[in-house]
Amino acid sequence: MIGGVPSWLLIFFDKLRELRPGKQIAELFPNLEMIVHGGVRFEPYRSRFATLLAGSGAELREVYPASEGFIGIADGAPDAGLRLNLDHGIFFEFIPVEDLRKGNHRRFWVGSVELGVEYAVVLTTCAGLWSYIIGDTVRFVELSPPRVVITGRTSYFLSNFGEHLTGEEIDASVSAAAESIGASVTDYTVSSLFPKHDGDLGGHRYFVELGTAEVSTDQKRTFVETIDRTLQQRNDDYRGHRAEGFGLKEPLVYIVPPGSFERWMESRGKLGGQHKVPRILPKGEISENIDRFFSELGYN
């Protein structure tokens, strides 16, 4: 069994294949039965892992560990959600994300939650936490037993122009865009582009690292259009703001070379372990840091 955060597992597997050219993971680990992953939404990485594990009998198993407690584990198909650990000394409560943003903290327990609602996770534990908002957001896909999918973070919410995009919606759009050109996602991050002059439109800028080094001009165009179209299909506010001349311009996407995010995280002292590439960057120090890093590579 091998376990870890998906992005670091990819780096690990790539390094192994570099050390043993021509060998597939199934040949390097012929007895591998399971890969345990967690910490970030897995969807953008799924196709890359499928390619790497070709010929292997290893199962993928997602877990939901947090510093505050072990919250859930996948016990079925990939799209069946994560079953909450209700007997691990944790009392769960859930605040609808919309309420949280309005400052109205209505709380529900597992017996009163509803399907399809995005909730912020709140924990009370025997270790001493009391009604603690851990920062993750989930949506229930089954109530008996309770199973959830992780939709993002309370801070992973892109809405500087009123577009109200969630981390789940952005993940889905990037995954769809990669699939549209037959590529896989290694990592990505997105931030807001603010107008520099009166009358200019704002927008979003993506830095995306794919599992392939070469992307043609036509493929990049397809990638951008698929992100834009998928977000418009999933989010009414985004679609409204993308209407001609109103609110948002087309996404700006930079396809960066393989290894770029690894080098960026290393430059910040955040390589490996539990560190994760921040998917949605608020305006601030980290956003300025990645701007400088990729500007030096010629992306500006």
**Confidence class of residue 245 from pLDDT cuts 50, 70 and 90?**
low
Residues 98-148 have pLDDT tens digits of 888 777 788 999 999 999 899 999 999 998 999 999 988 999 999 999 999
Q: Would you state the pLDDT for residue 3?
A: 93
* DSSP letter, residue 80: G
> What integer is the mean pLDDT of 11-31?
90
Q: 25 or 274, which is more confident?
A: 25
Q: Burial code of 45-62, b = ≥16 C-beta within 10 A, e = fewer? A: bbbbbeebbeebebebbb
Residue 129: predicted pLDDT: 92
Can you tell me the mean pLDDT for 182-188? Answer: 89
Q: In the chain, what percentage of residues exceed pLDDT 90?
A: 44
How much is the mean pLDDT over the chain?
88
Mean pLDDT of 267-277: 81
Q: Report the chain's terminal Cα–Cα distance, integer Å.
A: 42
209 pLDDT more than 90: yes
In contact, 64 and 150? CB cutoff 8 Å: yes
- The structural domains of the chain, ordered by start, are 2-63 (no CATH), 84-153 (no CATH), 157-296 (3.30.300)
Closest CA to 299 of 275, 264, 265, 249: 264
- pLDDT the model gives residue 284: 60
Specify which residues 96 forms β-bridges with: 119
pTM for the full predicted model: 0.70
Cα 279 from Cα 225, distance rounded (Å): 20
The pLDDT of residue 285 is 65
What's the pLDDT band for 20 if we cut at 50, 70, 90? very high
- Contact status, residue 251 vs residue 228, Cβ threshold 8 Å: yes
94: pLDDT strictly greater than 80 = yes
pLDDT of residue 232: 94
